[in-house]
Amino acid sequence: MTATADVATVLKEKFPQITGRESLDWPAFNVPGDQAPAVLQCLRDECAFDLLVDVTAVDWGVGQSPRFTVVWHLLSTTRHTYVRVAAACADDAKPSMPSVTGLWPGANWHERETYDMFGIVFTGHPDLRRILMWEGYPYFPLRKEFPLAGLDTSLPDPEVADETGARVKPAPYMGGPFVAAPGGPMDEAEPRAKDQSWTERQEKPS
């Protein structure tokens, strides 16, 4: 069994395009998107990283290229070390990434969540539906262009929406976000609204 430091050697030998990735804790690697499943399989089968801890993504911002990066976190349950693998999506407008549900069935819901929040399509996923938001929700909430307050849209059920007249409405933080001031007495350090000049009913002065 190879030691932690050897993960880089093993990977670089098999996949010369892999580069190291800045990391404060565990080894991390940047991988070309199309090679990601092969790299992850190599880590699982040859380096004993047998548990997929998390699949998530990063949105680097509107106009950035590459805009979306998918990140996998692996754990070795025998050696108790982690490794992080990141792959940039080639297409910024319609990001996609090969699915790893074939390697770890547990990737299924992680990939659904990443699709739900970022709109990254995992090709080869057996059932890529939204998992947190409802079917038909028009936005991807963790993308950078999506405001914290949300966007106006209709309720999931048109019948109930008609009956109640309720809609999905933006919920802006009135005066928020609420920030704690460090130091000082505790009653002053409590989280407070920074800007109380506007409310839900009274427009924010521009």
Partner 1 sequence: MVSPNTELAYDSKIEGDVIVSRLDAVINWIRTNSMWPMPMGLACCAIELMAVAAARFDIARFGAEVMRFSPRQSDCMIVAGTVTYKMAPQVRRLYDQMPAPKWVIAMGACASTGGMYRSYAVLQGVDRILPVDVYVSGCPPRPEALLDALIKLQAKVRREPAAKRLFRT
Nearer to partner 1, 66 or 175 (CB): 175
At position 105, the amino acid (one-letter code) is P
The CA distance from 169 to 150, in Å, is 7
The CA distance from 89 to 63, in Å, is 14
Nearer to partner 1, 105 or 136 (CB): 136
Nearer to partner 1, 18 or 117 (CB): 117
| Shortest separation between residue 108's beta carbon and partner 1, angstroms | 20
Could you list the residues that contact partner 1 (CB under 8 A)? Answer: 132-134, 141, 146, 148-151, 155-157, 159-161, 163-164, 166, 168-173, 176
Nearest in space to 53 (alpha carbons), one of 16, 84, 10 = 84
CB distance 35 to 17 below 8 Å: yes
CB distance 114 to 138 below 8 Å: no
| Shortest separation between residue 172's beta carbon and partner 1, angstroms | 8
| Shortest separation between residue 51's beta carbon and partner 1, angstroms | 29
Nearer to partner 1, 63 or 138 (CB): 138
